[in-house]
Every structure is written in C-alpha cells, then in structure tokens.
Structure 1
Amino acid sequence: MTNEYLKTDIPSLNSLREATAKKGPPFRVGIVIGPGYFPLDMVGVQAVLGTLPGAEIYLVWKSREPVEGFRGFWTLPTVTFSDCPDLDVIAVPMMPPELQTDREVVDFVATRGKKARYLIGVCNGVLTLGAAGFLRGKRATISHNSHSILPLYGVTEVVTSGVVADGNVFTAGPSVGSFEAALLVAEQAFGRQVAELSEFIVEYDPHPPFGTGTAAGAGPATVGKFEGMMADMISRYRAEALKFAAANA
C-alpha cells in the first residue's frame, strides 16, 4: 500500500522528504477524518509526525470523496477504512457526535487501535477512543465542556488541562493539544533529540495574545457564552456516551 501523498513530484518537497527518510519500516500515521471534523485538531498531528523519519500520513475515511472540515476546510481522504494499511499511530480529532459513535468509525478505531503503537485523541475525538474501549481505567483529558462525560467511558481520573499520556494512549484538549500530543508521541517513538528537532521544525511556541485559552484565563462571562454555544452538541455527545455506558454496564 503506497500513500499517494508520497508520490507528489515537487523537487523542494522531494529533498525535504529525503531528509526525513530512513531505512527499514515506515512510520505510518492514520488520522481519522469525516464530515464536520475540526481541522486544527489534526493539523498538529500531521505537521509534527510528518517530520519524523519514514513518516507516512494517511487521512482515513469511509470513502475517497472530499469531506468538509468545520468549516469550509474541504479535505480529500487519502485512504478508506477498508484499504488502510496497519498503522503505528491512530489519531482522532473532534468530530460531530453523530460520527463519534458511528459504527464504522468506532469499529475501525477499535480494530486498528489494538495493533497500533500509539493512540491520540484530541478534543472530543477523545470520546471516539472511549467508544472504541481504549479509555477504561485510564487517566485522560478532553475539551473543557466534556470533562464530565469521560467517566462514562471508564476514565478513572479526569485531568482538566494539558496532555495526558497513559500507556500508549495520549489525550489532549483542542487545537494546540494536537501539537503537544504529537510531540510526546515523537519522543516515545524516536527519542528526545528527534522530538526536540520536530518541535523546532514547526517552531511550536504558543503566545496567546489575550490569555483566554483556558477557563481560568477566560473568566466566567466568556466561559458561560462558550458553554451556551456548545450546549446542544455536548448534550448529544453525552447522550451517545450514556448509550455506551448502558450497553457496557
């Protein structure tokens, strides 16, 4: 199985690709996408792990038809669930609750995740890892609005910030969490020196201009407005999680 991305014949990209090439097995990263997925939750995974030796990035969905990331970010899947090769990493960004427990999505993550070396969940993509059975007995984190949902998937300790590594499962909040989780995977897979180089290649060094990227920094008014915006979606995530908990009681 060859990732078509690797066939792109542009000299400057070819030289960069050669700089990260290595002999031996490829390092295959599968990012699950679908209609309504949140692009920034996967970009950090793609950017960081794409710098690693032998990296192959697969954007995985049910078909090869374009899907719209939220919003207006049209994305072409590079491989389907059925055609995807075995993966070293499976990463799941936030997707709508209708897809979070979609049977095909969950079956793919559950089946391939058992063989993968590392699992990454970003924002509410963490809930898909839960639906696939990978959060039982784990410490985990997720986006601000979904902390209370995690125990329904068997999480024993909910962490409210940062990135959590528990065994081979890496969970993170939204957006920049995708970079941080990917950097920790890079360290485990290739060592600290390679991970530090990856961090410098993407110049990961956030400087939030307003300091409102956390609930503590945002303050009650902003947090309340955001929670109101997300209320319907979070209730749907919770409903799916309750179905899962009842079915696995």
Structure 2
Amino acid sequence: MYTNMKNKVRKTLLIPGAATLCLGMFSCTALAGESTAVAHQAQGAVTIDGDLSEWDLSSPIEIKDESQVIRDAEHWLGETDVSSSVYLMWDEENLYLAVDAKEATPFGAVGQLAHNMEDNFKLYISTNPDADPDRTAYETNDFLVYLMMDKTNWYTAIDRSMIERENLARFSTQGMEGSDKVLQGYERTYTITDEGFIFEAVIPWANFSNDYIEAYVPTAGDTVNFDFCMTDNDYPFPNTQASVQISWSGSAESDKNPSVWGRVTFE
C-alpha cells in the first residue's frame, strides 16, 4: 500500500558459491550469473520522499565494480563516477525501488538520443516465478523497463522488442520513441547528495499486465529473475563519444537473455 506513512524493512543478500551470508554491516557485489537478493514485504505504508531512513540499508545490491561495467568501460572513472546501491521491497500492489547513486553528472537525459544511450535506470524483471531461470530468451512475463533520469519529465518506457511475436500476449513495446510516460501510478522523487543522488520510486504491478497477462501478486517465497542497470552519458547529444553502463549482473546480454540476470526472492 502506498500512502503517506512510513515503514522499515530488512534486506539480505547472498551470492551462491561464495559461501558468504551478507548481514549487518556487510554488502555484496554481484558476479555475473551468481547474483541473488532478497526483497522484503513492506509491513506498512510506504512514503516516496527520497529519504531512506525508513529502509534497512545494511545489505544493498552493489553495482560499483569494474567487472560490472558492460559498455564504454574505458570511459568509466571509478565508483564516484557511476555506481549505485539498490534496494527493493514489495507489497501485493507495488514494487518499491530505492537507489543511492554516485554520479558525477546526474540527470542528463535530454531526449536527443535513443533511450539506451541517455541517463537512465534499466529495470529487468520477470513476473512469473514458475519460469525457467535458465531460459535464454525473453518470455511473456519478462519486462525491460526504462526509467529515464531527466529530473523534469521522468519519462518511462517498456521494451518488448526482443520477444517473439507469439509470446507478446498483445503487450508490445511502449514509449521507446519520444518522451512518453507509460507507467501508470509511477511515483518517484530524489534528493541530491554530495556524491550524486538518492532516488526512490513506486511502480504498481498492474503495469506488467493486460487482458491477456494476469496481474502479478507476489507471494512470500516467490523467486524471479531480476537485473538492474545504470546508464550515464555526460554529453547526451548526437555524435556523443561515450555512454557508460554498469549492471548488477555484469553482463551485456541482459537485453536479450534472462539467464544472465540475477534472482530476487520475495520474503
């Protein structure tokens, strides 16, 4: 439920094969193909105000390592240039997202380039916990969401161009051209920090459904494929020289192949 009240949640993060449980003061940086995270259910109303004092920040999804840079790595100047700590929580109606972003030149999207080249957050999510986690092609319930970082219009898009026509269920690409706002009920805000900004948002689950795709209502214990990518373009104009991308999975294949995404469990 999204209202003007606040709640606290707790986060844990586990990387299989590392035999490391991340609790308390520890956090984990993802390795491609080995990323798992926990999103806890909101126990009360959630306020979207850019203040993360209501969140448990002890175990973030860390996106800050050189190995996670998936495009224009030669232009990445380190953690203070482009990186983020990402937090998730949920209830039956909404997905909640918080990002503590470090970025030297934030909010640079100006609508002059393709969405994938301008400042954005890319949210990759499945709404089918029964799907094969090792599938190598997008299925009906796989979504790539663009949250454009322009500080004014906050335009959004959903890319479904990689899905075979017979699997689209009449849910095609939305908003990939122009500056549309395709996410209904999407609320977001930010606060500026010394090293970048805090971003907080709510995305209703209804955005991932239509007359042919049932609305997802998460249940504690569900696990779905998930990834998150941050794009930074210091000069977002035609003939731009670089557009750095850094992602949780550390894989440049996430736009086409859900098997490289991480896994999020709802608890």
Length-normalised TM-score, structure 1: 0.31
More helix by share: 1
User: Could you tell me the TM-score, scaled by structure 2's length?
Assistant: 0.29
| Structure whose residues are more often strand by fraction | 2
Pick 1 or 2: higher relative contact order, CA cutoff 8 A, min separation 6. Answer: 2
